[in-house]
């Protein structure tokens, strides 16, 4: 795994995780720059409620390596919880933050609910929910579609 960086650029304080960074869509230019100049870069948390620091890994080959070598690149230590200040969340164990074998065991249980057949059975329900969310959003004079609709639908789906 490479760790090329351009010393003229500082990627440590770039905002790659807040909602604002994605408000106008994915920051493709920033990600392209990071893949070229700092494919593996340590970032500082940009505001309260975010991790103190985290690693941004932007190239597929590096993501694959990190995913396969969990012994070297564990997510379990701090994980993906954004608000580390809340003690009640410190005990939460999100699947994305687990390493094998626990992650593998849970993944095999969860995957049963995501087969093509299972998805076909839920498709009509999710279409109805999407239509309802859009109908409700159209009643508002202005809105942020990401916050109001596209962020809401996945939350309803996994609830």
Alpha-carbon span 159 to 156, nearest angstrom: 5
Render 79-93 in DSSP notation, one character per residue: TT-S-TT-HHHHT--
User: What's the average model confidence in pLDDT over 38-56?
Assistant: 78
**Per-residue pLDDT tens for 108-135?**
998 988 899 999 999 999 999 999 999 9
- What is the pLDDT, as a whole number, of residue 158? 78
Phi, psi of 44 (to 5 degrees): -85, 145
Q: Whose CA is closest to 81, among 90, 72, 70?
A: 90
Alpha-carbon span 131 to 149, nearest angstrom: 10
The CA-atom distances, in angstroms, between 6 and each of 9, 40, 63, 140 are 6, 12, 20, 46
Task: Name the residue ranges covered by the structural domains of the chain.
Answer: 19-113, 115-158
pTM: 0.55
71 has pLDDT over 90: no
């Amino acid at each position: 795994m490479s760790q090329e960086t351009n010393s003229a650029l500082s990627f440590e304080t770039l905002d790659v995780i807040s909602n604002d960074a994605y408000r106008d869509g994915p920051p493709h230019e920033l990600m392209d720059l990071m893949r070229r100049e700092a494919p593996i870069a340590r970032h500082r948390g940009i505001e309260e409620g975010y991790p103190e620091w985290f690693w941004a890994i932007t190239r597929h080959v590096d993501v694959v390596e990190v995913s396969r070598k969990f012994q070297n690149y564990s997510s379990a230590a701090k994980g993906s919880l954004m608000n580390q200040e809340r003690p009640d969340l410190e005990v939460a164990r999100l699947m994305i933050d687990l390493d094998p074998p626990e992650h593998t065991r849970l993944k095999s249980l969860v995957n049963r609910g995501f087969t093509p057949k299972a998805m076909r059975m839920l498709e009509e329900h999710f279409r109805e929910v999407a239509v309802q969310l859009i109908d409700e959003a159209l009643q508002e004079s202005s809105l942020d579609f990401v916050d109001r609709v596209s962020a809401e639908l996945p939350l309803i789906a996994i609830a």
